[in-house]
Amino acid sequence: MNIRLLFSFLFFAGLSSYVSAQCSGFTVNAGADQGVCFPAGTATLNGSVTGNYESFVWSPATGLSDPNILNPTAFVTAPITYTLTAQGVDPAAPNLIQNGDFEQGNVGFSSVYTNNQTNLINPGTYAIVPSPAIVLSTFPSCDDHTTGVGNMMVVHGQSSAGHNVWCQTVPVVPGNSYEFSAWIMTVVPFFPSSFDFTINGQSLGAQSFPANSICEWAEYSAIWNAGSATSATICIVDQGGGGIINGYALDDISLKALCSASDEVTLSLVNVEAVLPALAFLPCNVSAQGFALDGSASTSGPNISYLWQTGDGHIVSGATTPTAFVDQPGTYTLTVTYNDGFAVCTDLAVISVIPDPNVPLAFVQAPGEVNCFNPTITLDGSASSSGPEYAYLWTTADGHIVSGAQSPFAVVDMGGNYTLLVTNTTNGCTAETSVFVSEDLAEPTATAAANDVLTCIQNPVAIDGTGSSQGNEFSYEWTTSDGNIVSGENTLMPDVDAAGNYTLVVTNDQNGCTASVSVVVEENTTPPVVQIEDPNAVGCAQTTQTLDATGSSGGGTLSANWTTSDGNIVSGENTLTPTVDAAGTYTLTLTDDSNGCTAESSVTVEE
């Protein structure tokens, strides 16, 4: 069984190496190049060394948290390249030790001990033999380390310390590093052996080897740098045993130049810039493919991505490229991102896209209402773009344009939707806007009735206009050219006292619309006709006389009433034929019951 005890001692400030054709025993990988966001930042190096190597170091150490670990943190303020260098023994490198496996016998080395090839009974003796048992019966039978059947150096050492049991001088290259290795086996149970290992008098490190593992080989190994030396005198120093007998064996002593392998990683400062103009004008005649927003001056290259975004515009295409195509005004943001899997650096730029200033403006002030107050109104588009290069066109599908259809001002006489198209005749850009014109031409209702006739007893009479429109928004006016309005000429029930034509005008005070109606008021004021026959005289022969008014006439039933101040009515004073018996003047008042008109006449009765 072999046990390897590895002790690495570096006696130099930095690693320098003998380089063989290739370090075939291990490989070095400094990791992928990385970016660090400008102006400064940190990155974790991702080095690895695989295979049989002895040591590694990063250089330069500038900015590194620890150059002696595979994954140090680097603080980067400027671009820098780090080199990961590992050292190890190249299996192809030659062993500088002559006869290190003792297969050539007792040659190539020196020892303060005495060689005795037959018997090691005395301390301070050694033999080059295939097994310890050959030279001392108390030693066990053990195989050599090299092949199991070859030689080894079996030693019966002194119990005291400081004896150079094995030494050899070999040439070395100044500045190169070497690995020294020796295999040691204890042959006396329970009593460990102790050693120091020196090169040019400088200790590589002392070591005791366990005594309870007889016939088991253990390796001692150390790294040594030649510095300025051109030769190396290597000694294994016996420091004495821990028991009655200090017995052990040496084999396969070697000194091999180390080779080194390196790999580089570059940390770059990544200055990501999103570059856009602050303002762009969207052409009025932008195509379906859109208008190009050019961010090509932004950072480009590997690990760079682009993203366009907008909250109020519209991206037609190119949202993940340096140049986006848009077809609407708005605010657009370009985010440029660097992402190499290690660092994520971003920058953004904003561009405002506004309509081309050469695009005309179409604007119409809020119109009034078409009504009876304003049967025509003017649509005012004078706030639109103006100048000799602009043309105007008003159109409507449900209204009516009286005049001005090709000017900023259009006169209309109907409600409806009206559209103003403004054209820049220089570039063909257009703009249009629409307004709605409301219309209120509703006429009120006007009705009137003369339910009564003017008579001698009914005067005045009221004309009835209550069937007309009513409400706070309506006003009324009665007029006549041949009658007479006593009162109420601004109400729906005026009083009149003369026959004639009366006209009612009803006005809607909100829209100015009117309606009128005329009515004829008739009168019946013809008095009855009183006709009294000449009476006979009253005398001795004829003491009574009958007055005769039966010839009277009227429009209706006549009512009679005879009176006298100097005669005497015997009977019938309320008839057309009263009886009188005295001379005097008699007066008849007739009333036409159909109109209440009266007439009277008198007759004188002689005596």
At residue 426, the pLDDT reads 87
Q: What is the CA radius of gyration of the chain?
A: 70
Q: What is the mean pLDDT of residues 245-269?
A: 93
Fold of 272-355: Immunoglobulin-like (2.60.40)
pLDDT tier, 2 (very low <50, low <70, confident <90, very high otherwise) = very low
| pLDDT over threshold 80, residue 13 | no
Could you tell me the CATH superfamily of domain 114-258?
Galactose-binding domain-like (2.60.120.260)
**Residue 478: how many CB atoms within 10 A of its CB?**
22
Tokens representing 491?
Answer: 């109400």
Asked if 250 and 153 count as a contact pair (C-beta separation under 8 A), the reply is yes
Asked if 255 and 234 count as a contact pair (C-beta separation under 8 A), the reply is yes
User: Higher pLDDT residue, 132 or 428?
Assistant: 132
Q: Tell me the average pLDDT of the chain.
A: 91
| pLDDT over threshold 60, residue 571 | yes
Task: List pLDDT tens digits, range 467-513.
Answer: 999 999 999 999 999 999 999 999 999 999 999 999 999 999 999 99
Q: What is the mean pLDDT of residues 264-271?
A: 95
Buried b / exposed e along 481-498 (16+ C-beta atoms within 10 A): eebebeebbeebebbbeb
Strand locations in 98-176, DSSP E?
A: 114-115, 125-129, 152-157, 163-171
At residue 61, the pLDDT reads 95
Distances in Å between the alpha carbon of 46 and those of 61, 72, 81, 225? Answer: 15, 8, 13, 28
Which range, 330-334, 423-427, 582-586, has the best average confidence (pLDDT)? 330-334
Fold of 454-524: Immunoglobulin-like (2.60.40)
| pLDDT over threshold 50, residue 443 | yes
Percent of the residues in the chain that have a pLDDT greater than 70, as a whole number:
96
At residue 243, the pLDDT reads 64
pLDDT tier, 211 (very low <50, low <70, confident <90, very high otherwise) = low
Asked if 220 and 7 count as a contact pair (C-beta separation under 8 A), the reply is yes
Tokens representing 604?
Answer: 């004188």
Instruction: Find where tokens 């009476």 sit.
Output: 535
| pLDDT over threshold 80, residue 22 | no
Instruction: Find where tokens 């810039």 sit.
Output: 273
Report DSSP state, residue 522: P
Largest Cα separation within the chain, whole Å, is: 228
Q: What is the DSSP string of 413-454?
A: -S-EEEEEEEEETTT--EEEEEEEE-EE-PPPP---B--S-E
Q: What is the mean pLDDT of residues 427-432?
A: 88
Task: Please tell me the total number of residues recorded for the chain in this structure.
Answer: 607
Q: What is the mean pLDDT of residues 186-191?
A: 82
Which residue type sits at 506? V
User: Helices (H) and strands (E) in the chain — how many of each?
Assistant: 0, 47
Task: List pLDDT tens digits, range 111-161.
Answer: 999 999 999 999 999 999 999 999 999 999 999 999 989 999 999 999 899
At residue 212, the pLDDT reads 63
Task: List pLDDT tens digits, range 25-69.
Answer: 789 999 999 999 999 999 999 999 998 888 899 999 999 999 999
Tokens representing 495?
Answer: 């009083």
At residue 419, the pLDDT reads 97
Which of these ranges, 89-98, 397-406, 516-525, has the smallest mean pLDDT?
A: 89-98
At residue 528, the pLDDT reads 94
**Residue 297: how many CB atoms within 10 A of its CB?**
13
Q: What is the mean pLDDT of residues 270-286?
A: 92
- Opening angle at CA 43, ends 41 and 49, nearest 5: 160
